[in-house]
């Protein structure tokens, strides 16, 4: 499932024209404004009546924001919600006020078929600046967009040369990620640092210091669904052997805090509570079999709310940094 994943990563800089008043965690604010703008430029459904299946199937907005889990031969059964094929990743700074002339920088990732939707994202970002962002609807101007490769190097986006073909070097696959973050020869201990609130469930209960198999179950399912629905990958009906190995890996240190916050969903017209844990978790065991999934996860995030930047984590195998 990991091998079929391809994605493209971008960095966006906008410059405030008015005072921008944003929350300390900006992911939900960016996603809400983006959703409204995308609906203006990318929704082809008739807004006067419920969308028909044929309309939804050809609508960019519905594909990105409300993807349908259509039953397919060889695919997963009983899936209600599938991951959206993009991420909006806010800056980690807690700054809430941006004066005119100051810059706000955020990143976004497009996965699989969603890479073809890049022009819609660029137009939507422009439109967000015109209609305003955050409390008071402060306006901004889109200054620049850069592509980011697997090493983190950024280059100005050249739309005339950009394509969804891997041969031009714009796309990132597992082999690119592993080239810059190879699996250590001996991997028996690993530390996760969760940089944004992470919301994981196991047995229908929220976890604040999850065992390794819980992390792996959540991450493997997310990557598997992204692969099948957005990248043309094959679905593995069972990963029982991997789960059994993951259950042997032990949690040895946990230094996490619970972060409670809430957001208002315009689409669902309700307030949503999305608490999650932040901090460090360390595990010991035979971790090499899970490396590919883990390094992909550092780019694609884990858990609920990944689309607006939740569940962002890094991993370290250096004992001196643990």
Rounded to two decimals, the pTM is 0.92
What phi and psi values does residue 174 have, to the nearest 5 degrees? -55, -40
Question: Is 218 strand, coil or helix?
Answer: helix
Task: Give me the CATH topology for the region 176-321.
Answer: Alpha-Beta Plaits (3.30.70)
- CA 116 vs CA 30, 64, 184: distances in Å: 21, 11, 35
Q: Please provide the DSSP assignment of 34-51 as one string.
A: HHHHHHHHH--S-TTSPP
Spans of the chain, pLDDT less than 70: 1, 46-57, 71-75, 167-168, 262-273, 319-322
What number of helices (H) and strands (E) belong to the chain?
A: 8, 16
- Torsion sign across C-alpha atoms 121, 123, 126, 132: negative
pLDDT value, residue 85: 97
pLDDT value, residue 170: 81
Domain residue ranges in the chain? 2-172, 176-321
User: For residue 119, what is the enclosing H or E element?
Assistant: helix 118-131
pLDDT value, residue 308: 93
**In angstroms, rounded to a whole number, what is the distance separating the alpha carbons of residues 151 and 181?**
9
User: For residue 72, what is the enclosing H or E element?
Assistant: none
The residue with tokens 């809400």 is: 32
Q: Which two tokens stand for residue 44?
A: 């082809």
40 within 8 A of 130, measured Cβ to Cβ: no
Q: Which two tokens stand for residue 237?
A: 């009906």
């Amino acid at each position: 499932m990991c091998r079929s994943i391809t994605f493209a990563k971008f960095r966006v800089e906008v410059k405030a024209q008015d005072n921008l008043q944003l929350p300390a965690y900006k992911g939900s604010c960016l996603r809400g404004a983006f959703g409204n703008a995308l609906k203006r430029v990318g929704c082809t459904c008739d807004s006067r009546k419920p969308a028909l299946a044929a309309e939804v199937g050809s609508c960019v907005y519905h594909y990105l924001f409300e993807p349908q889990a259509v039953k397919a031969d060889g695919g997963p059964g009983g899936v209600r919600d599938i991951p959206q094929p993009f991420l909006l990743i806010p800056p980690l700074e807690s700054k809430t006020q941006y004066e005119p002339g100051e810059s706000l920088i955020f990143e976004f990732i497009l996965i699989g078929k969603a890479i073809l939707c890049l022009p819609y994202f660029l137009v939507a970002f422009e439109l967000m600046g015109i209609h305003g962002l955050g409390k008071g609807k402060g306006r901004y101007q889109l200054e620049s967009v850069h592509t980011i490769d697997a090493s983190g190097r950024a280059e100005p986006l050249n739309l005339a040369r950009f394509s969804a073909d891997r041969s031009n070097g714009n796309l990132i696959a597992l082999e690119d990620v592993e080239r810059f973050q190879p699996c250590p020869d001996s991997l028996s201990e690993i530390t996760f640092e969760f940089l944004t609130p992470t919301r994981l469930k196991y047995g229908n209960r929220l976890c604040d210091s999850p065992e390794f198999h819980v992390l792996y179950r959540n991450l493997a399912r997310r990557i598997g669904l992204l692969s099948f629905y957005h990248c043309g990958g094959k679905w593995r009906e069972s990963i029982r052997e991997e789960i059994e190995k993951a259950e042997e890996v032990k949690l040895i240190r946990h230094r996490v805090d619970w972060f409670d916050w809430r957001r208002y969903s315009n689409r669902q017209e309700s307030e949503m509570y999305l608490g999650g844990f932040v901090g460090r978790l360390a595990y010991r065991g035979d971790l090499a079999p899970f490396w590919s999934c883990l390094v992909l996860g550092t780019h694609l995030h884990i858990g609920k709310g990944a689309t607006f930047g939740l569940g962002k984590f890094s991993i370290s195998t250096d004992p001196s940094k643990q």
